[in-house]
Amino acid sequence: MTAIIRARGLSRHYGRFKALDSIDLDIPAGRIVGLIGPNGAGKTTALKAILGLSSYRGELSVLGMNPATQRDQLMREVCFIADVAVLPRWARVRQIIDLTERLHPRFSRQRCLQYLAATKIRQDARIKTLSKGMVVQLHLALVMAIEARLLVLDEPTLGLDILFRKRFYSNLLNEYFDEDRSILVTTHQVEEIEHILTDLIFIKEGRLVLNSSMDDVQARYAELMVKPDRVDAARALGPIHERVLFGRHIFLYDRPDLEQVQALGELHRPSIADLFVALMGDAEPGASELESAA
C-alpha cells in the first residue's frame, strides 16, 4: 500500500538542539494515527514539516508531493485544525462560508450547511459571539466539507468540555473518515482518542520510541496487577516497568508468556497513557499529567 506520508532521515535542528533526529515514517491511507509525546518532543516540528511550514533535512513525501516545494498543490488535498481555530472575530459565519467557497475548489457549501444544521450555530452570528466549542464546530464543518485526503489535527479539542470533545470525535468518525482518507492527530488527552486510533506513534527528544499499529500494540504489551506476595515472582519475569496503585503492584511486560504471567495475578491490556509513561521513562509526565498537559 502506498504511503500518504513517507519520511526517511527526517531531521530538523535548531543550533545544537535536535527537534527531529533522523525519523523514518510510513503512514498508509485509511488510517487514524496518534502522534503522542511530551512537550518539546518534536510533534509540532514534524507537523510543520508535513504541512510545508518548516524547512527540514532528509526525504519527506506527503500524498506524493514535496511539502517544501509543492505546498500550494499539497494544501488542496490536506486540511489542518489546530488547538486555536484562527477565524476573524469580526466576520459572520455566512461570510466565512462564502470565503471558503471562493478560496477552496474542493469545498462543498451544501455539505458544510448540513453539518452546521446539527449545531446551534447561526449563519448570521459573528465569530466573536461564539463559544470556543462552537468555533471548533464551525471549523470542523468547514474542514469536513472539503474533499481532502489527509486531515492533520494538532490538539483540536484543547480547552473544550467533555461533551464538545466527544461530539467532535464522533462527527469526525461518522461524517469524515473513510478508507481513502487518513487522519494524523496529536493530543495530550489520549484517553479520548484511544478507541479510534489504528496506529500509534510515540516521539521523544526528536526520535520515535514506538511506531506500531494498535493491533500490534495490544498483542505485544500486557499489564499484570499482583498482590504483595507475588511481587518477587512477577519481577523475575523481566517487566519493562513497575508502578504501585492502592497497594497493588502493576507490571508492564513486552511480549510476555501470557500463561506464565496470568498465573500471578490479573492480566490487562495497558492504556495508551500507562504505556506512554512506561516507554518514556520515569522522568516523563505521569498518566494524569499526560492527560492534562498543554
- 78-124 pLDDT, tens digit per residue, is 988 876 667 888 999 999 999 999 988 889 999 999 989 888 999 99
Strand order in the sheet with 241-245: 241-245, 248-254, 221-226, 266-268
For residue 85, the model assigns a pLDDT of 63
Partners of 175 in beta bridges: none
Whose cell is 474542514? That residue is 143
Sequence length of the chain is 294
Predicted pLDDT at 280: 84
The reported pLDDT for the residue numbered 293 is 34
In eight-state DSSP terms, residue 65 is B
Are the beta carbons of 137 and 144 closer than 8 angstroms?
no
The amino acid sitting at 91 is: A
- pLDDT at position 88, please? 86
The CATH T-level fold of domain 216-292 is Alpha-Beta Plaits (3.30.70)
- pTM score: 0.83
Residue 89 burial class via C-beta count within 10 angstroms: exposed 0-12, middle 13-18, buried 19 and up: exposed
pLDDT tens-digit series, residues 204-253:
999 999 999 999 999 999 999 998 889 999 999 999 999 998 888 999 99
| CATH 3.30.70 residue spans of the chain | 216-292
Alpha-helix residue ranges (DSSP H) falling in the chain: 43-50, 71-74, 93-103, 109-117, 132-144, 162-171, 214-220, 231-235, 258-262, 272-280, 287-292
Average pLDDT (34-57) is 91
What is the dotted CATH code of the domain comprising 3-212? 3.40.50.300
CA distance 142 to 144: 6
Q: Whole-angstrom Cα distance, residue 256 to residue 270?
A: 13
Question: C-alpha grid cell for residue 227?
Answer: 498482590
Residue intervals of the chain classified under CATH 3.40.50.300 are 3-212
Cell of 90: 469580526
The C-alpha cell that represents 2 in the structure block: 502506498
Assigned C-alpha cell, 172: 469526525
Of the two residues 99 and 165, the one the predictor is more confident about is: 99
